[in-house]
Structure 1
């Protein structure tokens, strides 16, 4: 009888870019690359063609600070529209008297962004498709890297699945959708995962 002790909840998640790296498909050559991240930036590097990308993880606030020429009051108008945030100067209405006038768009750092969940087989930093991605009855089945893939195979193949002693109630298996954990599907999903494992890296 095979048994597995589950892993902590965030072992394999979007945050793995900070430690293990997330394997993803290169947008240029469709080869395998890796997404990594630190506190300030996210990075992608393709193992095949060498294509690289960097994205600032800092969250900025954009606003026009001005003194109204009509009523004389100072005001600040937040700019939420991403397209408008690119302009150095915008015409905005004074919130007090509604007079419109040009004002400089100021950018201030608010902190760094938290990684979102992996959705529909895409990592959240650049929106790249995961390298280990397949479909079971139209639903995505994915792993963020080889280590995660091995965990999924071991977990779904095990006869006995146990929660780690002394850890909070939520574990890595809580990330898995119900269709993957359903007894009638497990064997076919394990075959699918093993096929991905045998594919080129």
Structure 2
């Protein structure tokens, strides 16, 4: 498939009536796309130079969970730390992909197959096959690299995930996900 060809993402929840479709644009960018809902976290950020003294850049970053419908821009008031004057500042919304807890990349929906392992460490999977591959990797006694060192899914896992000392914690977390997944069916 060509890099500039149109791609779409679809989501349908088997438990409720939620059905989403991204349309023919690239759904995995950080920018908000008109007509594509985003259910994940957002960062509103903006900056400008003080219009009075010109001394300082005035910046503001606000992170929040999104509430549908998502505004593309917001406005706030910022004060210059040098002269104290207040200025309006336009903030642009940008998607935050939660790679720690796991979120679906096109719409930002939190993954059901996610379980905490330790503080700020989660194991998550998109589906049964992904979970089985992670379980197989964790349980492997010998992990060999392929011909290209950084081309596989497993080469991109964080170091704590690949560490042998976390094997037992990860196995328990995956077992909890499998038990919960069995109950979801």
Contact 1:157 1:186 in 2 (8 A): yes
Aligned equivalent of 1:124, options 101, 105, 108: 105
Contact 1:156 1:186 in 2 (8 A): yes
Higher relative contact order (CA 8 A, sep 6+): 1
Task: Number of aligned residue pairs: give it.
Answer: 112
Report the secondary structure of 1:56's partner residue: coil
Report the alpha carbon displacement of residue 186 of structure 1 after superposing the two structures with TM.
0.8
Aligned equivalent of 2:141, options 153, 159, 175: 159
The gaps in structure 1 that reach 5 residues or longer are 1-37, 62-80, 85-115
Q: In 1, Cα distance between the equivalents of 2:24 and 2:131?
A: 27
Tell me: CA distance 1:57–1:131, structure 2 relative to 1, closer, same or farther (3 Å): farther
Aligned to 2:47: none
The gaps in structure 2 that reach 5 residues or longer are 34-70, 75-95
Instruction: Give the alignment's Cα RMSD to 1 decimal.
Output: 2.9
What is the TM-score normalised by the length of structure 1? 0.48
1:168 and 2:148 equivalent? Answer: yes
Q: In 2, Cα distance between the equivalents of 1:57 and 1:194?
A: 38
Aligned equivalent of 1:50, options 17, 23, 36: 17
Report the secondary structure of 1:125's partner residue: coil
Report the secondary structure of 1:156's partner residue: helix
Q: In 2, Cα distance between the equivalents of 1:172 and 1:117?
A: 18
Larger strand share, 1 or 2? 1
1:142 and 2:109 equivalent? Answer: no
Q: In 1, Cα distance between the equivalents of 2:145 and 2:116?
A: 27
Q: In 2, Cα distance between the equivalents of 1:132 and 1:39?
A: 29
